[in-house]
Amino acid sequence: MNQGAAPKVSFVSLGCPKALVDSERIITRLRAEGYELARKHDGADLVIVNTCGFLDSAKKESLGAIGEAMTQNGKVIVTGCMGAEPEQIEKAYPNVLSITGPQQYESVLDAVHRAVPPLHNPHLDLVPPQGIKLTPRHYAYLKISEGCNNRCTFCIIPKLRGDLVSRPANDILREAEKLVAAGVKELLVISQDTSAYGMDLKYTTSSWKDRDVRAKFIDLARELGELGAWVRLQYVYPYPHVDEVIGLMNTGKILPYLDIPFQHASPEVLKQMRRPAAQDKTLARIKAWRAECPDLALRSTFIVGFPGETDSDFQYLLDWLDEAQIDRVGCFKYEPVAGATSNALENPVSEEVKTARWNALMARQQKISAQRLKRKVGTRQQVIVDEVGPTVSKGRSKADAPQIDGSVYLSSRRPLKVGDIVSAKIERADEYDLHGSVAGI
Ligand code: SF4
């Protein structure tokens, strides 16, 4: 490090949006203390790797990233989900400087201070009002709780992150308000189980502006809806109390969008997965939601090839999809994760069958998605602009979350800016995307 120059930290952020929020917090703190971000490991004073430990493939990727940082730099701090079980990392890279689990911001910062002391005293002016965002400035993830009280058999998140710990409502609202004031147009509300928000706090109130707000899913959604940004709810389970937010969607306060990771439909498989709300009549619930809010877009993920999944379980899932008409679907082939209780289940499904089921589900869903998108041709949709091109720009409708759903390709006579929300006439649809032109701003 040059005498007098700000220490430089190279940062690798792996994993899900929740891990990204952790990375943003750490970087914000580092910037506040006068550290700079380096573009490359080589030449940086230190590397931080925020790891993902959800699947074995993610662990492999994390170990690869640590190895790269060790070779190119040699001073490496590891944090994140994989850090909760440090043995594998210690074995592969005994010389890493420190290993901590998810959200242990203070320990990460202590390790950084030990390795490369800060040059200045903390100077908060170095940080823009919204903190440092790794996501584009026009949308931001808002993490409302950490951990999970469920015990799905294929998942080790509760083991890594512990039971549900919710943030007080006013703390979340303060952060959301700051983000909107700094130019964020879309807030993506995330947690492991968004609909369980506040259960651990016994829905206790906190004061926000001139009122008390309960730490409760519906109350938080209502308040977030007052901030003037798009509010998108992700990782929601179909508990009965979710019905309440559908009314808010109809009033335009929050986006008519729910990301519900159903994972399966067959009661037998759901039982083996020990999924929350598995016993609820989800098809009836979806129908009722759509009757109340016809614009509602549903996104979900499914696992095929879970141990014990029979041909008839899988057929049940396909039939259920036909009925449920989920707008957006992600599908994964079951993969055993070290430490998950599902590893002990009998009747594993062969890789060949998993692949065949994956292909069948994706083909079925492609048809559903194409049909649902076709219905939008000729309508007007509001679109948020993500990327501006010379002739065609790329954006998303209210039915599309960034990175996981489809896009709207837009032609426009007037120049557009990233973050603009425009009214678009939809002219064409394909399997996953829409195409149209700007009809108004
Ligand atoms: S709801 Fe299930 S899958 Fe999701 S984090 Fe909790 S235990 Fe894991």
Question: Would you kindly state where each structural domain of the chain is located, as residue ranges?
Answer: 8-126, 139-374, 380-440
Nearest residue to 320 (alpha-carbon basis) of 267, 369, 381: 267
Q: What is the mean pLDDT of each run of 10 residues along the chain (441 residues)?
A: 72 84 82 81 93 83 94 93 87 92 80 80 46 76 90 88 92 92 92 92 95 96 96 91 92 94 94 80 92 95 96 96 94 88 94 96 95 96 94 95 92 92 96 91 67
Fold category of 380-440 in CATH: OB fold (Dihydrolipoamide Acetyltransferase, E2P) (2.40.50)
Q: How many whole angstroms from 275 Cα to the centroid of ligand 1?
A: 8
66: Cα separation from own chain's centroid: 23
User: What is the reported pLDDT for 122?
Assistant: 37
CATH for the 8-126 domain, from 3.40.50.1980, 3.40.50.12160, 3.40.50.2020, 3.40.720.10: 3.40.50.12160
For residues 252 and 230, what is the distance between their CA atoms, to the nearest angstrom?
9
Q: Residue with the nearest Cα to atom 4 of ligand 1?
A: 192
Q: Can you read off the two tokens belonging to residue 420?
A: 């603009």
- Per the CB < 8 A criterion, the answer to whether 175 and 143 are in contact is no
Count the helices and strands in the chain (H runs, E runs).
12, 20
For residues 159 and 16, what is the distance between their CA atoms, to the nearest angstrom?
17
Give the number of the atom of ligand 1 that is nearest the alpha carbon of residue 154. Answer: 3
Nearest residue to 425 (alpha-carbon basis) of 359, 369, 378: 378
pTM of the model: 0.77
User: b/e for 77-90, b at 16 or more Cβ within 10 A?
Assistant: bbbbbbbbbeeebe
Q: Residue with the nearest Cα to atom 1 of ligand 1?
A: 150
Site to probe by mutation for ligand 1, drawn from 16, 159, 166, 193 as the one with most ligand atoms within 8 Å of Cβ, is: 193
User: What is the reported pLDDT for 414?
Assistant: 87
Site to probe by mutation for ligand 1, drawn from 155, 236, 259 as the one with most ligand atoms within 8 Å of Cβ, is: 155
Site to probe by mutation for ligand 1, drawn from 152, 195, 337 as the one with most ligand atoms within 8 Å of Cβ, is: 152
For residues 4 and 2, what is the distance between their CA atoms, to the nearest angstrom?
6
Which SS3 state, helix, strand or coil, does residue 299 take?
strand
- Per the CB < 8 A criterion, the answer to whether 422 and 385 are in contact is yes
What residues are in contact with ligand 1 under a 6 Å CB criterion?
148, 150-152, 155, 157-158, 192-193, 276
The predicted-structure confidence for 20-78, as pLDDT tens digits, reads as follows 888 888 887 787 677 888 889 998 999 999 998 877 888 889 999 999 999 999 999 99
User: What is the reported pLDDT for 128?
Assistant: 54
Q: How many whole angstroms from 190 Cα to the centroid of ligand 1?
A: 13
Q: Can you read off the two tokens belonging to residue 257?
A: 């969008």
Q: How many whole angstroms from 323 Cα to the centroid of ligand 1?
A: 25
**May I ask the CATH class of domain 139-374?**
alpha beta
User: What is the reported pLDDT for 292?
Assistant: 95
Nearest residue to 139 (alpha-carbon basis) of 336, 436, 420, 411: 420
Q: How many whole angstroms from 414 Cα to the centroid of ligand 1?
A: 45
